[in-house]
Amino acid sequence: MKKIAKILIANRGEIALRIIRACKELDIKSVVIFSEADANGLWVARADEAHPIVGNPIDAYLKYEKIIDIAKKTKCDAIHPGYGFLSESAEFAQACENNGLTFIGPKPHHIQLFGDKMASKVAMKDVGVPVVEGTSTPVVDLNDGKKIAQEIGYPVIIKAAFGGGGRGMRIVHFANDFEAMFESATNESIKYFGKGEVFIEKYVQNPRHIEIQIIADQYGNVLHLGERDCSIQRRHQKVIEITPSPLLNNDVREKLCQISVDAMKKLGYESVGTVEFLVDDKDEIYFIEMNTRVQVEHPVTEMVTGVDIIQRMIQIAAGDTLRYKQDEINFRGYAIEFRINSEDPQKSFMPTAGTVKKYLTPTGPGVRLESALYAGYELPTCYDSMIGKLIITALDWEGVVAKARRALDEFHIEGFKTNIPLHKAIVRNAAFKAGKFDTGYLDLNLDTLT
């Protein structure tokens, strides 16, 4: 096994704090880099060492030459990229390896492959995974696009090939709208991802978003840690994540887990990863994409399996084996994660900002909070609006919903608006309580919930 005694965390906020905690428990020293805007970050205080990167506050977490330089100077053995920022940069992963640093994540060629949604669908189809029907090369010409959409049959979805976070996506129900949607998907893709390539696929109506957590070592062993239901979304962005998925047919669950494990074995995947599917109302399954990093919603899986995903990710990168066999992974109870965002649900989710004036957090049985907030903290305005994650665990569905209601009622953040009132309304909503929701649930019910 390689020795990992010191890790540089190339990230910020709650995930940086989460990784620091994993390091402390593993007796590993942690080093963080931080932008000028983040000087007061809790993770900066909690890490063993912290190094500022001056200049643009976003660039600080993207300038990888600088980050690698600091990692080498501070004698780190490895770099954990967290999620977002450099986590899905094959170039960065390669640069780490070239500089003798272990990249805590998959191999660069897998990051490259799965970073391209079209290429990953082709690769997954080749190893027997059912994928959504669509183009496997970018569609550049409007008339070609119209023809393809006609062949696939409306409704279709136009998607940014290198997109993420629900951006660069347009649903087209009628041929007449194709041109405008094609243009706006391309423009949004250029704006957010610097690449305008889009592709077209069949729009699956009223599906559930079900994803499988995979964990794989360097010796060809692959396990799944069950599914997460991420159907509660606003504009294709996850808001609440749940495991297990209420009302999901057990055969479908097993099939999704099995095909994900088989595919990752065949493709020689290493580290943690998430295979994302859509499941329609006839229980047809469609692979949509693979995420080659730890996900925001990993804690729900940790709560029902007891597996510390971040620690295992670090140990696997050091060359450890999986240690468990599939039948030794036990699933217990339900877990729900609520993403806490600094945005105003009553003003079309406009981002909010300010200083945290009062911070009363929920505690008690079944409550876990992942956040870097504290009273007096001034929230920087230049980063993502997700300021924390509330994770609730209980033995059954009714219990977890009841605990969530209680915990959300205990949560008071004063200083700026958050989406906590939206979560409070959702856990009181009859359809949610009955476990009846698909990816259209939130956008459809938003008026009554806000």
**Active-site positions?**
293
- For residue 210, the minimal CB distance to ligand ADP (Å) is 9
Evaluated on CA atoms 183, 185, 190, 192, the torsion sign reads positive
Decide whether 77 or 116 has the Cβ nearer to ligand ADP: 116
CA diameter of the chain: 60
In our burial notation (b when 16+ CB lie closer than 10 A, e otherwise), range 329-365 reads beeebbbbbbbbbbbbbeeebebbeeebeebebbeee
- For residue 286, the minimal CB distance to ligand ADP (Å) is 7
Decide whether 55 or 166 has the Cβ nearer to ligand ADP: 166
In our burial notation (b when 16+ CB lie closer than 10 A, e otherwise), range 315-328 reads bbbbebebebeeee
- For residue 48, the minimal CB distance to ligand ADP (Å) is 34
- For residue 281, the minimal CB distance to ligand ADP (Å) is 12
Q: Which alpha helices (DSSP H) does 268-412 contain, by range?
A: 298-305, 309-317, 397-410
- Report the distance separating Cα 260 and Cα 262, nearest Å: 5
Decide whether 206 or 218 has the Cβ nearer to ligand ADP: 206
- Report the distance separating Cα 149 and Cα 178, nearest Å: 8
Query: 102 to each of 95, 150, 310, 318, how far by Cα in Å?
Result: 10, 47, 15, 8
Cis omega before residue 207 (within 30°)? no
Residue 421: count of CB within 10 angstroms of its CB: 15
- For residue 331, the minimal CB distance to ligand ADP (Å) is 23
Decide whether 211 or 270 has the Cβ nearer to ligand ADP: 211
Tell me the one-letter amino acid at 184: S
Cα–Cα nearest to 1, from 194, 286, 218, 184: 218
Evaluate whether 173 touches 199 at the Cβ level (below 8 Å): no
Q: Which alpha helices (DSSP H) does 347-390 contain, by range?
A: none
- Residues contributing to the site for ligand ADP (CB under 6 A): 132, 157, 163-166, 201-204, 207, 209, 233, 236, 276, 278, 288-289, 439
- For residue 94, the minimal CB distance to ligand ADP (Å) is 22
Decide whether 203 or 334 has the Cβ nearer to ligand ADP: 203
- For residue 278, the minimal CB distance to ligand ADP (Å) is 6
Dig out the tokens for 128 from the structure.
């027997």
Tell me the one-letter amino acid at 56: N
Instruction: Give the H/E segment covering residue 157.
Output: strand 156-160
- Report the distance separating Cα 154 and Cα 150, nearest Å: 7
- For residue 198, the minimal CB distance to ligand ADP (Å) is 12
> Quick one: DSSP state of residue 220?
S
Please list, in sequence order, all residues whose beta carbon lies within 8 angstroms of the beta carbon of residue 348, skipping any fewer than 6 positions away.
Answer: none
Decide whether 164 or 351 has the Cβ nearer to ligand ADP: 164
- Report the distance separating Cα 122 and Cα 3, nearest Å: 37
